[in-house]
Amino acid sequence: MKVVTAEKMREMDRRAMEEYGIPGVVLMENAGLRVVEEIKQKYLPESLRVIIACGRGNNGGDGFVIARHLINQGIRTEVYALAREGDYRGDAQVNFLVLKNMGAKIKYILEEKDLDSLETGLIHATLVVDALLGTGLSSDVKGLMGEVIDRINLSSAPVISVDIPSGIHADTGQILGRGVKAQQTVTFALPKQGLFFYPGAALAGEVTVGDISMPREVIKDEEVKVNLVTMSFVRECLPLRPACSHKGIYGRVFLVGGSPGLTGAVALAGEAALKGGSGLVMVGVPRSLNPILEVKLTEVMTLPLPEEEEEKCLSKAAEKPILDQLAQCDAAGFGPGVHLRKEALSLLERIIKNTTLPLVIDAGGLALLAENLEILREASAPLVLTPHPGEMGRLMKTPVEEIEKNRLAAARDFARAWQVVLVLKGAHTITALPSGEAYINTTGNPGMASGGTGDVLTGLIVGLIGQGLSPEEAAVAGVYLHGLAGDEAVSTRGEAGLTALDLLECLPGVIKAAYQAEREH
């Protein structure tokens, strides 16, 4: 599903009206009806006492449509308008006048003293509809509008926001001064970017996309390069598993990593590749650490590699056995548990230059790349980088705070500039492709914020590439399945104390669910 900016949504609205002749008032009517349907589905009409706060723009017009339908269905509804009658224009004015002609009582909030009436209404409300500010907001919310938002947030009644919580930037998810905290957001035609980026995403609650009869040709606009990852996309990526299968069909993969104190990272990555469906998995580690891996791993094979005697880390001499092994494989990974050492950087440079396999780089490998990004220009095969925000900041020589302000832009800019697949981890992980296309993930939870979960993701992506997925498909699908495994683990274990091993246990089950969904589809 495509995800749009505020400007692109306005363009789509314009096209629907000008090219297809759909009156704007029809689109507004459909938008209001979608919210009414959600209200009726989730709440008992007889118990409802609804407050609808309407701004002066089209978002307020949607609110007037909602009010009309609720009143017609006998639901107690109070409407508060933050503009005078004469200030409404276009479709919003049409719906304001219809509501007025019905005899509905519309209360106005035009001065600070009018807030007393709203406060009284909110005390008795069982539901609040936020129709104050839409997707066009670009400056901080202040004054009377800000006071209204503050009072809504102090209310104990649940809130449904219309299109986007008021006060949230529709493109970046930044809170502009203050924002409404909603339990649900009903957005229209296509979801808006800001609904999935924090801190705004924390205010959106459950996001529902309402169909307002936008022409399919408009919604499928190929200029839109940002997508929401869905199960249907993932199931289309997964390879068939014929009855006459053997392990060679599902790929041979090789992961390089490990150093003293960090053997668990590469072990988790190897296990994840195997549980993700790989046929044969081997991990390469410094020679002295190999006995540890032999104990940790059963199905995953190990390869002892030359090491620096003093540090017990990979040495330059590991290059030949690594490249020899890669020549027999279908996909590779580098970095889990690797220490930042000059010898390791030289080794990574040689691997990037000489391997013809898709290579996933994570953890220690990313720290090495931050020392010399230019080696990415010499890659002989596709690269997938999987940084968390801190690692992304080091790669871009940019403060983490700046990365987090616009994660989408950071990921897309880096992927295009360096021609890599970039997985920017975090809440709603973003996968950006060299083409400029980007995918926002919809699975995962805070319980996954623990050591080792990133190593599981690395191994899973490598394993999927080895099974025949393109690096782009493997990154997007891997992130989704990784998050889904986390969600499955949380459902039985809770968030606190969730571990990477819990994700490993859940991986086969969520992949099974994806395959079953494919057959049902």
- Give the distance, in angstroms, between the CA of residue 458 and the centroid of all CA atoms in the same chain: 17
Does one domain contain both 437 and 491?
A: yes
Give pLDDT tens digits for 221-231.
Answer: 989 999 999 99
Q: What is the pLDDT of residue 83?
A: 96
Spatial distance between the Cα atoms of 105 and 296, rounded to a whole number of angstroms: 71
Q: Are 135 and 41 in contact (CB under 8 A)?
A: no
Instruction: Give the E-state strand segments of 115-205 in sequence order.
Output: 127-131, 159-162, 184-188
Q: Does residue 107 form part of some domain?
A: yes
The arithmetic mean of pLDDT across residues 71-77, rounded, is 96
Spatial distance between the Cα atoms of 175 and 5, rounded to a whole number of angstroms: 16
Does one domain contain both 180 and 94?
A: yes
Among 186, 220, 254, where does a domain finish?
220
First to last CA, the chain: 17
Does one domain contain both 265 and 320?
A: yes
Domain boundaries, position 103: 6-220
Does one domain contain both 213 and 256?
A: no
Q: Does residue 226 form part of some domain?
A: no
Does one domain contain both 158 and 282?
A: no
Q: Are 412 and 450 in contact (CB under 8 A)?
A: no
Q: Does residue 382 form part of some domain?
A: yes
Give pLDDT tens digits for 274-299.
Answer: 999 999 999 999 999 999 999 999 99
Give pLDDT tens digits for 410-426.
Answer: 999 999 999 999 999 99
Tell me: pLDDT of 357 over 70. Answer: yes
Spatial distance between the Cα atoms of 211 and 226, rounded to a whole number of angstroms: 19
Which residue in this structure is represented by tokens 């596709």?
Answer: 382
Q: What is the pLDDT of residue 521?
A: 40
Q: Does residue 372 form part of some domain?
A: yes
Partner residues linked to 252 by β-bridges: 280
Does one domain contain both 181 and 289?
A: no
Does one domain contain both 342 and 422?
A: yes
Tell me: pLDDT of 333 over 90. Answer: yes
The arithmetic mean of pLDDT across residues 193-219, rounded, is 95
Tell me: pLDDT of 518 over 70. Answer: no
Does one domain contain both 93 and 194?
A: yes
**Mean per-residue pLDDT of the chain:** 95
Domain count, the chain: 2
Does one domain contain both 68 and 198?
A: yes
Give pLDDT tens digits for 426-446.
Answer: 999 999 999 999 999 999 999
Q: What is the pLDDT of residue 52?
A: 98
Q: Does residue 194 form part of some domain?
A: yes
The arithmetic mean of pLDDT across residues 444-456, rounded, is 96
Q: Does residue 497 form part of some domain?
A: yes
Among 220, 254, 275, where does a domain finish?
220
Q: Does residue 280 form part of some domain?
A: yes
Tell me: pLDDT of 519 over 80. Answer: no
pTM of the model: 0.93
**CA neighbor of 356 nearest in space, from 336, 377, 331:** 331
Give pLDDT tens digits for 133-189.
Answer: 999 999 999 999 999 999 999 999 999 999 999 999 999 999 999 999 999 999 999
> In this structure, what are the phi and psi dihedrals at residue 136, rounded to the nearest 5 degrees?
-85, 0
Does one domain contain both 466 and 413?
A: yes
Which residue in this structure is represented by tokens 């297809």?
Answer: 20
| pLDDT above 90: percentage of residues in the chain | 93
Does one domain contain both 289 and 194?
A: no
Give pLDDT tens digits for 378-407.
Answer: 999 999 999 999 999 999 999 999 999 899
Spatial distance between the Cα atoms of 346 and 377, rounded to a whole number of angstroms: 15
Q: Does residue 1 form part of some domain?
A: no
Does one domain contain both 370 and 475?
A: yes
Give pLDDT tens digits for 257-272.
Answer: 999 999 999 999 999 9
**CA neighbor of 59 nearest in space, from 9, 133, 129:** 133
Instruction: Give the number of other Cβ atoms within 10 Å of residue 375's Cβ.
Output: 17
Spatial distance between the Cα atoms of 505 and 325, rounded to a whole number of angstroms: 28
Judged by DSSP in three states, 141 sits in coil
Can you give the CATH number for the domain in which 161 is found? Answer: 3.40.50.10260
Can you give the CATH number for the domain in which 329 is found? Answer: 3.40.1190.20
